[in-house]
Amino acid sequence: MTEILDRVRAHLRLHFGDTEPDAARVTFVGTEPLEVLRFRDGTSGLVHYVTLGCSRHPMGDPTQPVADQARGPRAEAVLCLRDPGPVTGIARSLAILAATPAVEGVVLAADALIDLGSPLWARPSGRAPFTAVLLGRSDIAELPLEAPGDPVSFLSATPITATEAAWVRLKGADAMRQAWHNDGVDVRDPDRPAAQPG
């Protein structure tokens, strides 16, 4: 399984211009270690946080008596923000997200809403209003694996507020994205206001 994660890391480094990321290692009791890699883009001011470890095993139906160790979707999560400045908690929040397939049997996929139940990060001035993420497709290409393994996909994790999460549950992911578009919301802005869909 280490070989897969080594390939994922190399794939990410190539995507982000062969740069070496900062890395935070997070461990929860009863789970394998996870990392959150941080890639900074000095030109755009964007910071990409990418989980490493979720794709170690394929995600599958937790009700099945025997897990398939080769087949099944594999994914990592990508959070992109305009430089948020001094923040704490992002690595832990993303590690919790990456651990949900192993801990709760959740399959991470585009349009999935994952409610973490607490602020995704904190600043000296206070905690972020975002307590959930809406998953989508990122611009990082899938990483193919040898057959019969499924490729590793990289899912964007858009921070959303409790109000927005309720809207997603009611109307769906596409309606939320359309509301952001209509309101001119930059979802990468850590200081953005919550959308007020009508």
CB atoms near residue 176 (< 10 Å):
24
Contact present, 55 and 152 (Cβ < 8 Å): yes
Statement: the pTM of the whole predicted model exceeds 0.85: yes
Tell me, yes or no, whether 177 lies in a domain.
Answer: yes
3-state secondary structure of 20: coil
Task: Give the tokens for residue 50.
Answer: 């990418």
Tell me, yes or no, whether 44 lies in a domain.
Answer: yes
Tell me, yes or no, whether 139 lies in a domain.
Answer: yes
Write out the chain's pLDDT in tens, 198 residues: 579 999 999 999 999 998 899 999 999 888 899 999 999 987 888 999 999 999 999 997 555 555 556 678 999 999 999 988 899 999 999 999 999 998 888 999 999 999 999 999 998 888 999 999 999 999 999 999 998 889 999 999 999 999 999 999 999 999 999 999 998 999 999 998 777 665
d(CA 106, CA 100): 6
Tell me, yes or no, whether 59 lies in a domain.
Answer: yes
d(CA 186, CA 158): 10
Alpha helices in the chain (DSSP H): 2-15, 90-104, 162-171, 173-183
Angle between helical axes of 173-183 and 162-171 (0-180°, round to 10): 120
pLDDT in tens, 108-141: 999 999 999 999 999 888 899 999 999 999 999 9
Tell me, yes or no, whether 96 lies in a domain.
Answer: yes
Tell me, yes or no, whether 43 lies in a domain.
Answer: yes
Tell me, yes or no, whether 101 lies in a domain.
Answer: yes
Domain residue limits at 121: 2-183
Measured in degrees and rounded to the nearest 5, phi and psi for residue 103 equal -85, -45
DSSP string across 54-79: GGGS----TTSSS--SSSS-EEEEEE
Q: Domain count of the chain?
A: 1
